[in-house]
């Protein structure tokens, strides 16, 4: 059967060679909004996902996405900073960025700063001054270390007035933007080649998602999915020269660093990164079947534990958990989601309406199966399970990043 072509132009390159390769229907339109009661969480509107692949720039996007469906407010709880594993990674990343570009006593703008942790690190470690844009920023969480930062609870857009800084940071935000080229043009507008402005972007790496059949990493808010080629393409198309590009955090994140060039400069033509075109096209073709098989396997495991009288919990209550529960159809068999973020405790997640509890809750609950939503946290989670006396629990992790510890008992 021939692939179903899409009528719309690719939002990353304006090409018309996109085709649909995977559909998911009736998913929550927000996965990080938190609710005080189960009924409200379950009543959240739903939408559809139609993943389309642009054969021209290798960009993947949800062609069924609607911008008026998603909500970003201070009820949007996305931070991972309460994890020691993630905090160490983020600090090391900030230190390397500051050192590589000598960003000390400089001006920094972060677009999509979330709760402000990374921008605060950049300003504290480099004695810099910062401006952060994000409607989900929570003023009550300001710390003594962010006094040199102005947080603006608004979207960064074409109407935003902002002078050129020394660093433009956009971390885990571009995947939420549908018209990626227009957004990149907005970033380029505040980049000064004369000042030497550096651009740093981090997004999920779609190559890993496709290769692993990681269905848990597909959700409505993420309307854009990048590979090396598609991310490089959109930056070059708006006059940004790519300096570095790589994969981090168990190959889950794609990072890119760039600088603006003068209008008269000629950028080096984009080349296919390590034969990415062919491997990505194959992963696109295989994804639907791979994802279906994985969802079935995980669902069977959870139902088997539940039917035997056991108790299963998911460790992690963010977007991955919301997507995982929906795809595996295991909401009735998973009573609790565990999270180290205290701002999530006692709340309910969208879609399934499953309740979030603290790790300490497990000392009394004593689960039989614990599934980590991210294998990068395996050591941290297993340590907590041992501390809480959950030695009989079988531990599994979704991602293959930590294959050597992804399936084991907590003891």
pLDDT of residue 265: 62
| Phi, psi at 99, each rounded to 5° | -70, -40
Instruction: Give the relative orientation of helices 276-307 and 319-328 as an angle to the nearest 10 degrees.
Output: 70
Helix and strand numbers (H, E) in the chain are 10, 18
| Integer Cα distance of 274 and 227 in angstroms | 12
| Integer Cα distance of 77 and 191 in angstroms | 30
Give domain limits for the chain: 280-409
pLDDT of residue 148: 85
| Integer Cα distance of 390 and 368 in angstroms | 8
Structurally, what CATH architecture does the domain formed by 280-409 represent? 3-Layer(aba) Sandwich (3.40)
- In SS3 terms, 200-216 reads as EEEEEEHHHHHHHCCHH
| Residue 169 Cα distances to 15, 116, 135, 202, 285, angstroms | 27, 12, 16, 9, 33
| Integer Cα distance of 105 and 230 in angstroms | 33
Tens digit of each residue's pLDDT, the chain (411 residues): 456 777 679 999 999 999 999 999 999 999 999 999 999 999 999 999 999 999 999 999 999 999 888 877 777 888 999 999 999 999 999 999 999 999 999 999 999 999 999 999 999 999 999 999 999 998 888 876 667 899 999 999 888 999 999 999 999 999 999 999 999 999 999 999 999 999 999 999 999 999 999 999 999 999 999 999 999 999 999 999 999 999 999 999 999 999 998 765 655 555 555 578 889 999 999 999 999 999 999 999 999 999 999 999 999 999 999 999 999 999 999 999 999 999 999 999 999 999 999 999 999 999 999 999 999 999 999 999 999 999 899 999 997 544 433 344 444
The encoded tokens of residue 330 equal: 């295991």
pLDDT of residue 359: 98
Whether residue 232 contacts residue 245, with contact meaning beta carbons closer than 8 Å, is answered with: yes
| Integer Cα distance of 23 and 208 in angstroms | 19
Contacts of 83 (CB under 8 A, 6+ apart): 340, 377, 380
pLDDT of residue 267: 57
């Amino acid at each position: 059967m021939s692939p179903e072509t899409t009528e719309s132009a690719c939002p990353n390159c304006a090409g018309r060679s996109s085709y649909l390769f995977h559909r998911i229907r009736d998913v929550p339109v927000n996965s990080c909004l938190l609710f005080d009661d189960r009924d409200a969480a379950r009543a959240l509107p739903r939408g559809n996902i139609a993943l389309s692949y642009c054969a021209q720039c290798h960009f993947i996007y949800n062609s069924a996405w609607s911008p008026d469906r998603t909500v970003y407010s201070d009820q949007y709880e996305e931070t991972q900073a309460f994890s020691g594993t993630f905090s160490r990674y983020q600090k090391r990343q900030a230190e390397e960025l500051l050192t590589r570009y000598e960003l000390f006593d400089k001006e920094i703008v972060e677009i999509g700063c979330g709760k402000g942790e990374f921008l605060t690190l950049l300003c504290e470690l480099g004695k810099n001054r910062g401006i952060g844009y994000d409607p989900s920023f929570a003023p009550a969480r300001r710390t003594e270390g962010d006094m040199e930062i102005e947080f603006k609870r608004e979207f960064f857009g074409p109407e935003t007035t902002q002078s050129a800084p020394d660093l433009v940071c956009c971390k885990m935000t571009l995947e939420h933007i549908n018209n990626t080229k227009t957004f990149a043009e907005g970033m380029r507008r505040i980049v000064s080649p004369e000042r030497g402005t550096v651009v740093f972007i981090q997004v999920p790496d779609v190559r890993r998602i496709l290769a692993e059949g990681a269905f848990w990493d597909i959700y409505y808010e993420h309307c854009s999915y990048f590979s090396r080629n598609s991310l490089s393409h959109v930056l070059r198309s708006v006059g940004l020269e790519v300096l570095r590009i790589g994969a981090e955090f168990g190959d889950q994140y794609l990072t890119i660093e760039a600088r603006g060039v003068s209008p008269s400069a000629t950028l080096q033509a984009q080349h296919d990164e390590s034969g990415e075109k062919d491997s990505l096209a194959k992963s696109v073709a295989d994804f639907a079947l791979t994802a279906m098989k994985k969802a079935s396997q995980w669902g069977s495991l959870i139902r088997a534990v539940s039917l035997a009288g056991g108790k299963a919990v998911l460790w992690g209550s963010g977007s991955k958990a919301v997507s995982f529960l929906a795809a595996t159809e295991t909401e009735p068999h998973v009573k609790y989601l565990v999270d180290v973020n205290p701002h999530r405790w006692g709340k309910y997640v969208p879609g399934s309406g499953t309740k979030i509890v603290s790790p300490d809750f497990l000392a009394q609950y004593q689960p039989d199966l614990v599934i980590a939503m991210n294998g990068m946290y395996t050591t941290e989670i297993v340590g907590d399970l041992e501390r809480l006396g959950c030695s009989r629990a079988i531990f599994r992790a979704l991602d293959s990043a930590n294959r050597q510890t992804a399936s084991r008992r907590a003891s």
